[in-house]
Amino acid sequence: MLELEASEIYVAYGDLTALWGASLKVHQGEIVVLIGPNGAGKTTLMRALAGLQPPYRGRILLDGTPVHQLRAHQLVERGIVLIPEGRRLFGGMSVIENLTMGAYAASARKQVPQSLDRVYSIFPVLAERAQQQAGTLSGGQQQMLAIGRALMAQPRILMLDEPSLGLAPIVVSNIFDVLRQINAEGVTILLAEQNARMALELAHRAYILEEGRVSSEGPAQEILQTDHVRRAYLGQVSPLAGGPTEP
């Protein structure tokens, strides 16, 4: 049974500690979301799990095996794939070239034709624009391409850092529908997201990260109903506190 676990990890940038004993678990088949304010450490935690910012204390386990000393490309080969904030596409390369770059691992390279068919079935616009430079796509199309490139790696765990950033609401809704579809096809998802409501409505479980620490965790629907989340992330005030709520 697939499981990714961060256990009491500390991550620093020079003398600045960004994560203070953060822990989480992601089980096979789940959608798990990280929410929290800017600067809370969400991106740092995602980077640590992806092998881009190793912890100086604590452990990261995949299926019970420590992987926190592995490099990013080794984790990709084990099925952990991160779509970073800002997408980080190769803007001067074509759509098809970007997608092919996603099939880095040896096992993924053997599945390129099948993977392309899968990506094009999810995102037909990418097939239509296969020869177009990635940098000339719209923001929503670039996010589709970033997800498609990650799918080319045959991920077991797909991690996305702020996929809704800078996108129109209708595009965000479409992206979240795609994530539901990908999860239904068997891919486990870990999502760091600023749109707390949509993320919590999508996810099975949630973690709240604040000041580099996990302040709360639980089923996403329960987290969505807590007064703290409603006040801090949804702009709502509990009626018991005498204030208005959103309609």
Spans of all domains in the chain:
3-79+155-241, 89-153
Q: How far apart are CA 56 and CA 95, in angstroms?
A: 37
Q: How far apart are CA 172 and CA 189, in angstroms?
A: 16
Q: Are the C-beta atoms of residues 15 and 91 closer than 8 Å to each other?
A: no
Residue numbers of the chain with a pLDDT score lower than 50: 238-247
Q: pLDDT averaged over the chain?
A: 90
Residues contacting 203, CB < 8 A, separation 6+: 30, 31, 32, 33, 191, 220
As beta bridge partners, residue 188 has 157
Of 155, 205, 199, 136, whose CA–CA distance to 173 is shortest? 199
Superfamily of segment(s) 3-79+155-241: P-loop containing nucleotide triphosphate hydrolases (3.40.50.300)
Residue labelled with tokens 């991550």:
11
Res 237: pLDDT: 54
Res 236: pLDDT: 60
- Report DSSP state, residue 226: S
Of 124, 123, 125, 133, whose CA–CA distance to 97 is shortest? 133
Q: Are the C-beta atoms of residues 196 and 233 closer than 8 Å to each other?
A: yes
Residue ranges of alpha helices (H) inside 8-123 are 42-49, 72-77, 95-102, 106-109, 112-122
